[in-house]
Amino acid sequence: MTLDRKTRGFVVVGLVAAAAVAIVISQFASRSPDGLEYVANQQGFADTEGAHAVDGSPLAGYGEGLSDNAVVGRAAAGLVGVVATFGVGYALFWAAGKRRRGTTT
């Protein structure tokens, strides 16, 4: 898929803006329990919680495992989220465009 210069510029500016927002906004992620944790604590079944499949991954817990510096870890996690979302979206649009043109290779 080839993009004209104007569209490419729009995509780049959008990615930079999304990355900047993710890096800044991720610093305000709450350390308080989310709604499900809150209800589990209130109803008394929070102690039945188990580890999830990606519990030990570097991005679990807002990127706490990425760096000794919490600010850097959260910023990296936000940036990885933007890049992953863009990658999935790009792949879906690429596949849809290829299907629309009727080509399979």
- 12 pLDDT band, cuts 50/70/90, is very high
Cα dihedral 84, 85, 87, 93, rounded to 10, equals 160
**Residue 69 in contact with residue 59, Cβ under 8 Å?**
no
**Residue 70 in contact with residue 64, Cβ under 8 Å?**
yes
Taking the model in full, what pTM does it have? Answer: 0.68
User: For 52-78, what is each residue's pLDDT tens digit?
Assistant: 888 877 777 767 777 788 888 888 888
Residue 104's φ and ψ, nearest 5 degrees, are -115, 0
86-99 average pLDDT score: 89
Residue 104 has a pLDDT of 56
